[in-house]
Each structure stands twice: as structure tokens, then as C-alpha cells.
Structure 1
Amino acid sequence: MTEAESSAVDGTAPVKDAAPARNRPPSWWLLLGRDRAAAVGAVILTVVVLVALFGRLFIGDRARRQDLDASLRPPSLGDGVYGLLGTDVLGRSVLARLIDAAATTLSVAVPAVLCSLLIGSALGLWAGYHGGRRESVVMRVADVILSFPSLLIAVVVLYVFSPSALNIVLILAVARIPVYLRTSRAEAAELRSRLFVDAARTFGTPSRHIIYRHILPIALPTLLTVATLDFCFVMLTESSLSFLGIGIQPPDVSWGLMVAQGRQYLQTAWWITVLPGLAIVLTTVSATVLAAWARIATDPAQRWRLTLPRKRRGASAAVPPEMIP
């Protein structure tokens, strides 16, 4: 007796096969693992952040401990762990100073980016959603800030006031606000005419709730991508200020200050300048590569590119696979 006949006898409907489960989108970790360059960049940035957060707990005062008998020793395996990258003119371990400088550099770059991101995005979303006079006033303020080169403003202000980490953070944060303000304003101005925003407005939803619940989640991936790229700019600016002598001041140390202090020994002790410069390059390049990956991964229209095999990526993959006849 077949299944249908037995079902007819029992008076029950035949059991159908369960519908196949929908294909879930790949996780972020899987997408990151499929892009080797972005994965390497993420690993480098993770190491830098961990070193900046916990490195000082292990090195103690090694970054400031002087030993003139060990002055300008080249990188060697015979001088212990702290001699792997050599010493500077005062006999201080370059490895310990790199670890200490990582914390200082990130303590300037990260707060500056976060402050400018929060203030600029809030003002831009508010101005772009409401439009009119409020938008004009906010954009004119952004134009005034952009009319002055950020590095020149930092040089003038730090020359007048005492150069400190707090002053550098405030200057860089104010100088980078227009970047997020203009980006978020453009996003909000385009989204305020969408159907879902009109529906929320029709039901009497307050403006702040529309901005926070409907516009911000869509604009956030773009803002985070801009913030990742801006982190590179801020870190390079801080290094430039320290190199000019108006940034981080001794006894504190940053990567830019290490490059400045070792430039006169470049021919005799290259490791003093090259190694912190290499740390700057690796960190900024890793952040740039990761930002490019995040731009694609957070865009639903482009995310499918990361699921393709590496050989099919690029110009040949012009349309999603499901649209190919």
C-alpha cells in the first residue's frame, strides 16, 4: 500500500517533505576570512590595539630606562627580549618604546576620530533631515572650518598654547568634524524623501526618533567606513606634529616623536627611525584595506562579491550570480 493510499484509509493528509531551509547570508567572520588582505589588516590592527591596551603592563619603565653603556646597539638576539630591535642614543630599548608609543598614538587618534564622528554625524543628520535654514547654517560652519588647512590650524594653535595630548585631540577633532557632517548630511537629505520615512512621519513619529531609528542605521556603515579612513589621516597628522616638535612632548613618546628623535642617526642607527615609521605605515595601510573591505561588506548590493571565489572577483564579476541567465 502506498503512502497516499494509507493516508486515505487513515483519513490523514500525506506528509510533505519539509521545505529546504533558506540560505542564510554568510557571517562577518566568513566574509573576512575570504579576503586575505582584509584578514591580514584586521590581524595587524588587532595586534596594535592589544599592544596599546596591555603592553605597558608588561614593559614597566623599560621605555624610559637609560643605559649609556648600551647606546646605539643594533638589533640583536643576544641582548634579551628588549634588545631584539636595538637601542637608541640613550640606551633605551626601541621595542619597549614602540610598545609605549603605540598606546600614546592610539590615545590621540581614537578619541579624536570618535569625537568628530559623534558631533559631525549628529549635526549632519539633523541638518540633512530638516533642511532649510538649519541646513544652510550648519553647512556654512563646515565650509568655514574646511577653508583652513587642518595641519596649519594645529601648528598655530599648538604653537600658541602648550602642546599636549588633550590639545591635539581637541584640535584634530574640530578639524575633522566637517568630513562627517557633510557625509551624514548627504545621507539624511537623500533618505528623508523615502517612503518608510514618510510613513513614520505620517504616523506622528518625532523627528529625533526617525533620525535615530530609520536614518542612522542606513547611514552608519558609510560613516564607519569614513571613520576608518579618517583614523589613518589623524594618526599621520599626529605623527607629523610630533615630528615637527609641537606634538607629543618628552618624556611621553609617540611613533612620530621616535621618528623625529632618530632622524639624525639615520645613517648610523637606522632602526631608531625606520621601525616606528614602519609601524605607522603598517597600521595606516591595514586600516585602509579594512575600510575598503567594510565598504563592500556593509553594502547589501555589493556584499555578494565577497562570497565569490577569488579568481572570479574583480571586473569580470559585474552582476550577482542569481541574475546571470
Structure 2
Amino acid sequence: MSAPDDHTSPAAASSRTRPPRWWRLLGRDRGAAAAAVILALVFLVALFGRLFLGDRAVRQDLRASLRPPSLDHGFYGLLGTDVLGRSVLARLVDAAATTLSIAVPAVLCSLLIGSALGLWAGYHGGVRENVAMRVADVILSFPSLLIAVVVLYVFAPSAMNIVLILAVARIPVYLRTARAEAAELRSRLFVDAARTFGTPGSAIIRRHLLPIALPTLLTVATLDFCFVMLTESSLSFLGIGIQPPEVSWGLMVAQGRQYLRTAWWIAVLPGLAIMVTTVSATVLAAWVRLATDPGQRWRLTLPRKRRGERAAVPPEMIA
């Protein structure tokens, strides 16, 4: 008998052990893939939609007032018109750009500032950690929506003021998360080894702590994006957020609430846009948390029918 012929090459063996690419993992999860597609479409519409609209979002035509959704009046009449005859579809696209231009910068600012302060405080500990945590406690002791209402009532409501208020109010969320990650990692052996070789603290934070804490921080940022967008919509609904002639999804809901019985599409459609965007971001955040965790990523490689079976044990440990 001849010995079995082994045609397995090192490259083939390494390709079998290499973790799947993120887009392949995303394709195996239909819910997360659908959420990613929806969010991508929302961001593309927000970025490039205004280039094709012209003045249709503000163009008034009283003869076309309160037309229901229909294809009889062209593409921009697909979702109906409001009381001034403006296209609801065009205003949804314009409002998407306004809403995301507030939510995204607010989340990025709070993420960068809060994460940097949290990692710095958590790594060094002592007085610096105590001061940073007390500042975070003071900010968290006031409801963010209440702070926004008071500040915007005193100062002029504008997109810049809303971004600054929401960014400051959400900094403690990232500060506390980053501080907890850094406080747990600063006693690890690889951090002690870096200190032994004389690596400065800033380099340890940047090279060793940040890459480990980043997946958790990004997951928190994705969830916080939903909160910030809902807060902006609430402020606009209350009349102290985005002001006409600018438009946001929350402002569209506020302007259409008095026509709910006769022209439901004016308020319901922007409300659906808010709901679909926030739900998609929440679903994608849950997937990102698994995909970026080496200890949990194996769950995404299982067939859909087996993901609920023996979920606590990796497949290589199952007999």
C-alpha cells in the first residue's frame, strides 16, 4: 500500500486557518447585512442627494397642497406633498443631510475627546483618574436633553450649538468606557514589558491600549449615534432645534403632526425614516461587537440554524 499523497501546501493550510473577511461574515448574517445596506443608502442620500434636488425641498406650489403619495405627479410626488405643496420626498432627502450633519460630528467629537481622556486617566490612575471620573459624574448628573433645552433656549438654536451641546453631554459615556478598559489593561504583562523597556506612557496608550479598546468604543459610538439622532429629532420636534427654512426629520414630524388625520404621510414618513435608521444602527452595532471580538467571532462562522445550538462553546471544542 502506498502512503497517502498529501497535496496540502503551506499556503493552503494558512488560508484554511485564516479568519474570514469581514464582508463574508457580514454576508452570512442577513439582518446585519440588510442593516448595513440601509445605513449605506442613508449616508449616500445624505451626502449626494442635495446635488440632484436643486430647490425642490423648498419650492412651494399651493395648487399641489396635501397631495397623497402617487406616481401621477412625477417622481418627486411619489411620497406626496405638504401643506405648502412641497415634495415630501425632496424634503426627506434634504432632512437626512441635516440630521446626519449633526449626529455624526457630535458622535465623533465626543468619541475622540472622551476616549482620549478615558485612556489617559485609566492608564495613569491616581488623582488624574479621580478628577476625570468626578467631571464625568457631574456632566452625567444632568439629563442631556434638559441641558440641551436650557442652553438652546438661552442661545440661538443652530446646528453648531446643537453639535457642541450633544458632544459635551456624551463625552462621559466614552470617558467611562475607555477608563474601564485602560484600568483593566494597565496591569497586563505586555504593558509591564513595555514599561520595562522604557516606552513612554503616551506610546503605550496609543500602541497597546487603544487597539484593544477600540472595538468596544466603536460599538458604543454606533449605539450612541442612535441616541444623538433621536435627541436632535426631539429638540427639533419641540421647536428649539433646527429652525426653518432648514429641515430635519424631527422638524418634519413636528410640522406634520396637525395633519395626521388628513395627510398622515407628512409626519409618518420622516418618523419611519428615524425608526429604520436607528434600528439598523442598533442591529449593525450588535454584529460589529461580535465581529471585532476574537473570542466571539466564531459565532458568526456557524450556519444560521446552528447559531443557537451550543452557543457557549467554540466549534473546535465541540466533540
Residues 172-183 of structure 1 aligned to structure 2 (within 5 Å) = 172-183=166-177
> Secondary structure of 1:21's partner?
helix
Which of residues 256, 261, 264 is equivalent to 1:262?
Answer: 256
What corresponds to 2:288 in structure 1? 294
What is the Cα deviation at residue 21 of structure 1? 1.7
Q: Please give the alpha-carbon distance, in whole angstroms, between the structure 2 residues aligned to 1:314 and 1:202.
A: 45
Which of residues 164, 173, 185 is equivalent to 1:191?
Answer: 185
Opposite residue 21 of structure 1, the aligned amino acid is A
1:320–1:141: structure 2 CA closer, same or farther, 3 Å change rule?
same
Q: Please give the alpha-carbon distance, in whole angstroms, between the structure 1 residues aligned to 2:83 and 2:315.
A: 60
1:72 aligns with 2:104: no
What corresponds to 1:21 in structure 2? 13
Detail structure 1 runs of 4+ shifted over 3 Å in the superposition. Answer: 15-20
Residues 149-164 of structure 1 aligned to structure 2 (within 5 Å) = 149-164=143-158
Q: Please give the alpha-carbon distance, in whole angstroms, between the structure 1 residues aligned to 2:109 and 2:35.
A: 24
What is the Cα deviation at residue 315 of structure 1? 5.2
1:276 aligns with 2:265: no
1:155–1:17: structure 2 CA closer, same or farther, 3 Å change rule?
closer
Specify every segment of 5 or more residues in structure 1 that has no aligned partner in the other structure, as ranges. Answer: 4-14
Q: Please give the alpha-carbon distance, in whole angstroms, between the structure 1 residues aligned to 2:308 and 2:232.
A: 35
1:134 aligns with 2:124: no
What corresponds to 1:8 in structure 2? none
Q: Please give the alpha-carbon distance, in whole angstroms, between the structure 1 residues aligned to 2:240 and 2:284.
A: 30
Question: Once the two structures are superposed, what CA deviation does each residue of 1:151-206 show, in whole Å capped at 9, x if it has no partner?
Answer: 00000000000000000000000000000000000000000000000000000001
What corresponds to 2:165 in structure 1? 171
1:229–1:323: structure 2 CA closer, same or farther, 3 Å change rule?
same
User: What is the percentage of aligned positions where both structures have the same residue?
Assistant: 85
Q: Please give the alpha-carbon distance, in whole angstroms, between the structure 2 residues aligned to 1:310 and 1:159.
A: 51
Q: Please give the alpha-carbon distance, in whole angstroms, between the structure 2 residues aligned to 1:17 and 1:283.
A: 47
What is the Cα deviation at residue 17 of structure 1? 6.6
What is the Cα deviation at residue 318 of structure 1? 1.9
Q: Please give the alpha-carbon distance, in whole angstroms, between the structure 1 residues aligned to 2:287 and 2:13.
A: 29
RMSD of aligned alpha carbons:
1.4
Q: Please give the alpha-carbon distance, in whole angstroms, between the structure 2 residues aligned to 1:29 and 1:301.
A: 19
What corresponds to 2:200 in structure 1? 206
> Secondary structure of 2:13's partner?
coil
Opposite residue 323 of structure 1, the aligned amino acid is M
What corresponds to 1:10 in structure 2? none
Opposite residue 312 of structure 1, the aligned amino acid is R
Question: Once the two structures are superposed, what CA deviation does each residue of 1:208-260 show, in whole Å capped at 9, x if it has no partner?
Answer: 00000000000000000000000000000000000000000000000000000
Q: Please give the alpha-carbon distance, in whole angstroms, between the structure 2 residues aligned to 1:251 and 1:166.
A: 16
1:244 aligns with 2:268: no
Opposite residue 312 of structure 2, the aligned amino acid is A
Opposite residue 175 of structure 1, the aligned amino acid is A
Q: Please give the alpha-carbon distance, in whole angstroms, between the structure 2 residues aligned to 1:16 and 1:168.
A: 63
Opposite residue 23 of structure 2, the aligned amino acid is W
Which of residues 219, 223, 226 is equivalent to 2:220?
Answer: 226
Number of aligned positions between the proteins: 313
Opposite residue 251 of structure 2, the aligned amino acid is L
Specify every segment of 5 or more residues in structure 2 that has no aligned partner in the other structure, as ranges. Answer: none
Q: Please give the alpha-carbon distance, in whole angstroms, between the structure 2 residues aligned to 1:315 and 1:26.
A: 21
For normalisation by structure 2, the TM-score amounts to 0.96
What corresponds to 2:89 in structure 1? 95
Question: Once the two structures are superposed, what CA deviation does each residue of 1:233-289 show, in whole Å capped at 9, x if it has no partner?
Answer: 000000000000000000000000000000000000000000000000000000000
What is the Cα deviation at residue 316 of structure 1? 3.1
> Secondary structure of 1:239's partner?
helix
What is the Cα deviation at residue 324 of structure 1? 1.3
Larger radius of gyration: 1
